[in-house]
Amino acid sequence: MGKTSKDKRDIYYRLAKEEGWRARSAFKLLQIDEKFHILKDVTRAVDLCAAPGSWTQVLSKRLYENRTNNEEVKIIAVDLQAMAPLPGVTQLQGDITKLSTAQAIIDHFGGESQKAQLVICDGAPDVTGLHDIDEYIQSQLLLAALSITTHVLMTGGNFVAKIFRGKDTNLLYSQLRIFFEKVSIAKPASSRNSSIEAFVVCQNYRCPDGYIPQMINPMIDDVQMIVNATDSSVNQKLIPFVVCGDLRGFDSDMSYSLNLNEDSEYTYKEVVQKPISPAYKEILEKLKNCSIKHSAITIKHEDEAVTTESASNDDSK
C-alpha cells in the first residue's frame, strides 16, 4: 500500500486534507446544509462530541460568513477530549450526559431567552464488530445528545445527529418525532454507500406539553412516552429519506486518479489533525522497540519498570 493509496480510494479524505478540514466528515455537514439550509441565519450553535472538530470548523467558517456583527455569533464545541482550538469557537470540555454541561451552554448563550438555534452531533463510538452493540451505543449517544438538546435548544430550532441504521432505528425515529415537527434521514454523498451511518435532520423543535427537559435514561424514565414510542408503520411513513450533496459531484465510493484536473499537479498533503490519544497509542509506542509475536510486555506498577517476559525460555537466535 502506497502513501497515496488512501488519497485515491477516498476522494473526500483527500479533499479534506487539501481544503484544510480536520476530517472528511466536514463535507457531510456541508452537503446536509446544501439540502436543508440548517446553517442559514444561525448565530448560536452547539457541536456535541466535537473532537477532532471538523463540524465545528464548518460552523466557524459558515456562521461568520457575510456578517458584519461577528460578536453576535456564538459557537460552542463540547467534548470530553481536548481539541485543538478553532477561531471564534468556545470550547467546553465536558460530559454531555451531565446537567451542568447543559447549564454551562445556556449561560454562555446568555440565558433561557437566548438558547441555541442549532445543535449538531457527529459523535460515534469505536465499533466493536458486533453490530447490535454498536447500534445500541450509537443510539444511546444520540439519546444523550437529544437529552441535552431538549435543555439547550430554542423552540423552532434544529438538531442534526449521526445514526447507525439497523434493526432498531425505527424506534429512534419515533422518539425523535416526539420532539420535532419534521424528522428526515439524510445520506450525504460524502458518506460511503457501504457505511451504515446516516444522519437524522430534525427540524422545528417543539417540546411536548408537560415534558420537563431531563437526562433520558431508558430504564428509570418518568416520561414513558419516550420509552413506549413504537416503530409502527404509521410512524415509518413520516420519515423521508433524503439524499444530500450533488450526485454528479464526487462519489465517495469511487477511486479517483490523483490528477483530478489537467491544470493542477498533485502534491501529497499530510492530515490536518492526527488522532490525539487513541487507545492503541501506548502499545504502539512499546512495540517500536520489541515484538510480542511470541512474548508479551509486562509492566509492574509498583516500580513502573518495564520488563519483557518471554512466552517460554525463549533464547534468541
* Shortest Cβ 55–another protein spacing (Å): 20
How far apart CA 141 and CA 212 sit, in angstroms, is 20
Residue number with CB closer to another protein (34 or 231): 231
- Pairwise CA distance, residues 154 & 51, whole Å: 24
Looking at beta carbons only, is 70 or 259 nearer to another protein?
259
Closer residue to another protein in complex, CB, 80/207: 80
CB of 125 to another protein, least distance (A): 6
Tell whether residue 95 is among the known ligand binding residues.
Answer: yes
* Residue number with CB closer to another protein (207 or 306): 306
Q: Which of 6, 162, 237, 300 is catalytic?
A: 162
User: Has 162 been annotated as catalytic?
Assistant: yes
Other beta carbons within 10 angstroms of residue 241's beta carbon come to 10
Cα separation of 125 and 144, whole Å? Answer: 13
> Hey, what's the cell of 58?
464548518
How many CA atoms, within 13 angstroms, populate the side-chain half-sphere of residue 118?
A: 26
Q: Minimum distance between the CB of residue 224 and another protein, rounded to whole angstroms?
A: 9
Give dist(CA 32, CA 199) in Å, integer: 9
Cell numbers that stand for 218 in this block:
431508558
CB of 202 to another protein, least distance (A): 17
Q: Which positions ≥6 away from 200 have C-beta within 8 Å?
A: 142, 159, 160, 161, 163, 172, 173, 176, 183, 184, 185, 186
Q: Would you say 68 or 312 has its CB closer to another protein?
A: 312
122 labeled part of a ligand binding site: yes
CA nearest to 47, candidates 99, 100, 101:
101
Query: Residue 111 CB, nearest distance to another protein (Å)?
Result: 26
Measured distance CA(136)–CA(114) in Å, rounded: 33
- Asked whether 252 and 189 are in contact (CB, 8 A), the reply is yes
Give the closest residue to 140 by CA, choosing from 170, 164, 104.
164
The cell 479534506 sits on which residue?
16
Q: Is 21 annotated as a binding residue?
A: no
The span from the CA of 67 to the CA of 95, in Å, is 32
* Binding region for S-adenosyl-L-methionine: 53, 55, 79, 95, 122
List, by residue number, the catalytic residues.
162
